[in-house]
Amino acid sequence: MSYIKQLEPSSISLIVPFKQLKSIAEELIEQAIGVQVLVNIDSEELNDGELRILANFDDSQLSDEEVRSLSKVGFASSEPYRNADTALDAIFVGRYDIQPTLGDEEDGDYYFIVEIEYNDYQRSLKR
């Protein structure tokens, strides 16, 4: 008998590869303006040890209307932290916490870990 089945999960941790977040951000931008824009995912460690994820892109080739349209859906080239949040919000429902550790996959891509409440994880799956 497996006793663990009698317990209820509280939260879970998920691995989010940079390349996956990049793909999602690029897809959201293309959906918003109909133009493919390359996104670069990066991270920075804040003074308190918190890990901040950044999604950078260049909007110099976009029209003013396209830039305004992106801003309405949460993307601005001058706000890489907000861009990453917008892409993460497309994945997760509810509150999530980025853990203060970066990992390195075998193919050289980085990843970070997100902790999310189990109930929010279940709601995210139904999106």
Give the model confidence (pLDDT) of 14-57 as tens digits: 999 999 999 999 999 999 999 999 999 999 998 888 899 999 99
Please give the model's pTM, rounded to 2 decimal places: 0.90
Least confident span in 78-87, 103-112, 116-125:
103-112
User: What six digits make up the tokens of 29?
Assistant: 């931008």
Closest CA to 111 of 13, 34, 26: 13
Q: Is 107 in contact with 17 (CB distance < 8 Å)?
A: no
Q: Residue 83: is it exposed, middle or buried by C-beta count within 10 angstroms (0-12/13-18/19+)?
A: buried
Domain extents in the chain: 8-125
